[in-house]
Structure 1
């Protein structure tokens, strides 16, 4: 009769053994990366093991969670948001319109206005996009503003922040076989968002994704080229242009992605209406 229970016993043993081996492996990896002088309890190791993420297989939920933590670290510490909620709602309305026609509409996006007169915009993982008031003021119309927002959405669609984070973690030697600790991931994310430009290939991909999405959303695609040319020809081009690939090359590359069937599309090109709206909202 005992023999009849042997298969079930072996099965139950395997169920208990595999999770135990997984915890042991994680703890072993973490122990190998901790200085001998630093004493950490087994429960703490297990806790830290749970907090380790694999950037190569990061889920949408994990990405959004890390993006939120990066956002919490930056807002109010690295910069402040503009006080006018109506301005934030206006930018969010444009952003959400573009999200719906993007190649990655299945995560929540957060569009925020940074109270800064410099012409700039940036994004981090998990759908967080930041637009400076200086850029809003510099745009001639809504389509030009939308072109920048579409470009930043392109970075999120391309998961460029995750790629940069992986590369930086490896370069700094903080990524282990188990992955990257989320606290360190947040620190790297803040550094990337504020002080590290995207790679040349990432910028060109975001340009391509952005201008295609701009047309899908009903905006004039030519606005993206017009705005970039305007910034390039200004007496003091924005700093971010000097850290990005050659602007003229980007303009020519974007021109190749304009859809001829949308050439007559003029959505968002009313300069006068845009100026009335932003003048009121920025005051």
Structure 2
């Protein structure tokens, strides 16, 4: 399932894409580099921004954001791994976004809103109310926060080269990426990709990477073979979801490998051509019956075409294969709630609580939990969950409204009542700071 937190701008719609398979792929690329640097893999959050420009950045809280434009321009894992290694270098060097005290607690959603330009909310048919950005001066300050110095860039390059060599991974991709940026130097700043402006490129940086690549120890360095296939599937998924269906079908029309069929299955589904879409995904499941993402996609196809009862077994199978993935549990819970079966409300609540224990920042999971509580007749817990939803969506007045309703229905001093006091304090502080 691809979920998105949308951030609308006058020129285009930006969105924060959430997809379990894509995030797993990016995390797999980063894991050896992080571990080699002594950084726990779980300490870093990876998010994908739906934007065609070539860009990436890290923010406080060890959050790494990659633009779809960057990912989709990479034909093999090497180039993307080089960029990830460089961005990890910023994390390891403490070059994070220099946000002031008033911005330190921003969620990924609200940070994205401030960076890209308008209001944030959840898609999938039911947008949540989001945040509004501040003044032009605040945006200028944020651009300054995101700009690294040349010294920091050279330091991140050095880290990336050392980390790639330590893990036996090629640095050629990082060099290719630099040459891509170098080709933009003749363009006006407005025409350059954002990465060029926030990550200053110098000839000395390119020369340092060229020298390291040229002096690499003998022997062919290559990424692990499974990563090539993972990358092809990730690109197929992004191309099929983000390009017009007809364009994606033409792109993969002659591909009979897994990635090609995957891309066509998604493109047919997005074109509302369910017979070929289901035939393709059933064929993929027959080839890889234990692939949770294929079952998830079939569930999404059926669910979004109002075949909720048929979607449930697919989502259940996906969760059984990958029970620790919160996004899959959220998808299953959504289908359980929309099934209209009261007996599934408690399992839906269990799935959402499980998901939130692993990813408490998910406004969508909190909103669905509020719906599940409401349909089960638990008004107090429904208001509590909606307070959490509003807090994470940046709607602080709405959060305070639900806190006020929920705390009158709960026993004073109970754990949930105490959590409501925390929400009240945080919402008031963020509202006043804004």
Normalised by the length of structure 2, the TM-score is 0.39
Alpha-carbon distance change, 77 to 272 in structure 1, aligned in 2, over 3 angstroms? closer
Question: Is 1:137 the equivalent of 2:72?
Answer: yes
Q: Which residue of 1 aligns with 2:207?
A: 252
Question: Is 1:199 the equivalent of 2:157?
Answer: no
- Unaligned ranges ≥5, structure 2: 9-13, 115-138, 241-434
Kindly name which structure, 1 or 2, has the bigger radius of gyration based on alpha carbons: 1
Written as runs of structure 1 = structure 2, the 5 A alignment for 1:18-97 is 80-97=15-32
Question: Is 1:221 the equivalent of 2:140?
Answer: no
Contact 2:82 2:174 in 1 (8 A): yes
Contact 1:92 1:112 in 2 (8 A): no
Q: Distance in 2 between matches of 1:184 and 1:279?
A: 34
Alpha-carbon distance change, 256 to 103 in structure 1, aligned in 2, over 3 angstroms? farther
Q: Which residue of 2 aligns with 1:183?
A: 102
- Unaligned ranges ≥5, structure 1: 1-74, 170-181
Deviations 1:22-44 (A, max 9, x none): xxxxxxxxxxxxxxxxxxxxxxx
Alpha-carbon distance change, 193 to 266 in structure 1, aligned in 2, over 3 angstroms? farther
Task: Using the TM superposition, give the Cα deviation of residue 96 of structure 1 relative to its aligned residue in structure 2, in angstroms.
Answer: 1.9
- Which residue of the other structure, out of 86, 89, 92, is the alignment partner of 1:157? 92
Q: Distance in 2 between matches of 1:268 and 1:106?
A: 19
Question: Is 1:267 the equivalent of 2:225?
Answer: no
Alpha-carbon distance change, 77 to 275 in structure 1, aligned in 2, over 3 angstroms? closer
Question: Is 1:238 the equivalent of 2:167?
Answer: no
Q: How many residue pairs get matched?
A: 192
Q: Which residue of 2 aligns with 1:279?
A: 235
Alpha-carbon distance change, 110 to 264 in structure 1, aligned in 2, over 3 angstroms? same
Task: Using the TM superposition, give the Cα deviation of residue 114 of structure 1 relative to its aligned residue in structure 2, in angstroms.
Answer: 1.4
- Which residue of the other structure, out of 103, 107, 112, is the alignment partner of 2:47? 112
Q: Distance in 2 between matches of 1:241 and 1:82?
A: 23
Q: Distance in 2 between matches of 1:239 and 1:92?
A: 23
Deviations 1:144-169 (A, max 9, x none): 1011111111111001127x45xxx6
Normalised by the length of structure 1, the TM-score is 0.57
Which structure is richer in relative contact order (CA contacts within 8 A, separation 6 or more)? 1
Q: Distance in 2 between matches of 1:93 and 1:272?
A: 12
Deviations 1:181-223 (A, max 9, x none): x435447x86677663111111111111112112222320122
